[in-house]
Structure formats: C-alpha cells, structure tokens
Amino acid sequence: MGTYALTDSWTMTRRELAHWARQPGRLVVGLVFPVMLLLMFAYLIGGGRGVSGPYRDYLIPGMLALTMAFGLEGTMLAVTQDLDKGVIDRFRSLPMANGAVLVGRSAADMLQSALGLAILVGVGYTLGWRVHASPGAFLGAMGLLLLLRFAMLWIGIHLALVAGRPELVQAVQILVWPVGFLSNALAAPASMPDWLGTAVEWNPMSRTATAVRELLGGPGGEPGHVWAAVLWPLALLAVFFPLAVRRFARMDRQ
C-alpha cells in the first residue's frame, strides 16, 4: 500500500511539473517576484530600523523567510482550479491512492521553493551578502526555511479545500501579506512599540528568520531560536495536515 501511494503521488508530482513546461510564465513570475522584493528593500525602501550591523546581512535571511511564507496563494489557486474544473473528481474515478493529488501538489511546490531559495541566495551573493557559517549550519538554515514553507503550503491546501473556488483566493491574499510583514524580516522588534514588538516576536516566521540569522552568523540572530523554528512549523503541520487530509476524504464521500 505504501509503494502504491508513493507511485501515485509521484505521478501527480510529474503532472504538476508538466504544468511548468506548458505554462512557464507562472513559474518565472513566482521565482522573479521574491527577487524584485529583495532588490526593492535592499536599494529603495530598506532602512534597517533597530539593526546593529550591515543591513543586508539582516535583510536577506528575513527575505528568505518572508518568501517561504508568501506563495500560499499560488498553491491555493492551483487546488481550487482543479476543484472548480472537476479535475480532482476525475482523478477520484481512477484507482489512485487517497490524497496522492495533495501530496503531488505539495512535492511540486517544495521543488519550486527550493529553486527559489537557491536563486535568492545567489542574488544575495551578488549584492555582497556573505554567509559566516559552516556548510552544516548553512544547510540547517535552508532546512528550517523549507520546513516553514512545507507548513505554510499545507495551510494553503486546507484553505483551498475549504474555499473550493478560485475567486475566494483573493480574500486569503489580503490576510497573508499583513501576517508576513508583521515579522522581523525587515526591521528589528526593538525598534517597534512594545505591543507590536511582542506580536512580531511570536510570529512563527520571525522565529525562523531569527534562527536562520543565528545559524548564518548575521546580525539579529539570537541563541535558542532554532528549536522554536522547528517546533512552530511542526505544530502548524500537526493541525493543518490532518485537517486537509480529512477534508479531502470527506469530499471523496460526498
């Protein structure tokens, strides 16, 4: 049964990858948009309030974490479009493992996220950013970022199954952006009002950004945040992964 489910999930992953070849524009936009944000904050908007040390060394790990939180809408849109067009209903008529569609979607999303991380790191290096850490610490930082992404995408999958229609994705976009920017990605919480700084520090994305800065040896890193950066995404996964799978299974019985 396990091998059967993995085979079906890989088939669904290849389906999502085939969409990249047929619609490369969507992939390119998804990869270029974070780069545009990074350049905008590095050269136009960035100020680094409350940051001690080079701002780019603080900004780029924050932008990596911000990028992992954004993109939720793309996942939601893909799932809701499949629901709206009846594609998922057609898959259900096939002898396919339950949930393979969702796993395939998440696997393709993670591949795109890893590619996006690599591009952003490369752009960061061209801007003069340098990693002051061992290869193991660097890989650990990338792993924390992808773990946050994995948790966020299952939140998106669950919300897509609840929404059911592509038109409702825009409502989620309105919520995702404030939550993403209500973090320490761009400025230090010490520079904010006490109540706002407290809220920012409790944001799971802030925990990941601080842990990444700690591992990479940049300004803004604080000891002890690595475990929080692991536990927060795992807690989100513990809630939203079973909710998404259960919702999908209930739709299968309707």
Helices (runs of H) and strands (runs of E) counted in the chain: 11, 0
Q: Using the 8-state DSSP alphabet, how is residue 1 labeled?
A: -
Give the whole-angstrom CA distance, residue 248 versus residue 71.
Answer: 21
Q: Could you state, in order of their start, the residue ranges of all structural domains in the chain?
A: 2-253
* Angle at which helices 169-181 and 72-84 cross, to 10°: 170
Q: Which distant-in-sequence residues (6+ apart) come within 8 Å of 233 by Cβ?
A: 147, 148, 150, 151, 204, 208
CA angle 32, 38, 41 (to 5 degrees): 140
Give the whole-angstrom CA distance, residue 224 versus residue 214.
Answer: 9
pLDDT of residue 41: 64
120 is written with which tokens?
């952003």
Query: DSSP 3-state assignment of 181?
Result: helix
pLDDT of residue 150: 94
Give the whole-angstrom CA distance, residue 45 versus residue 38.
Answer: 10
Would you give per-residue pLDDT tens digits along the chain (254 residues)? Answer: 455 467 766 676 777 677 667 767 666 666 676 777 677 666 545 555 667 777 888 888 988 998 888 767 777 777 777 777 777 767 666 666 666 778 887 888 899 889 989 999 999 889 888 888 899 999 999 999 999 999 998 988 888 888 777 766 766 666 777 777 788 888 888 778 888 888 888 888 899 999 999 999 887 777 778 999 999 999 999 999 999 888 887 775 55
Give the whole-angstrom CA distance, residue 156 versus residue 8.
Answer: 21
Listed residue (152, 151, 141) closest to 213, CA to CA: 141
Please answer whether residues 179 and 69 qualify as being in contact, where contact means their C-beta atoms are separated by less than 8 angstroms: yes
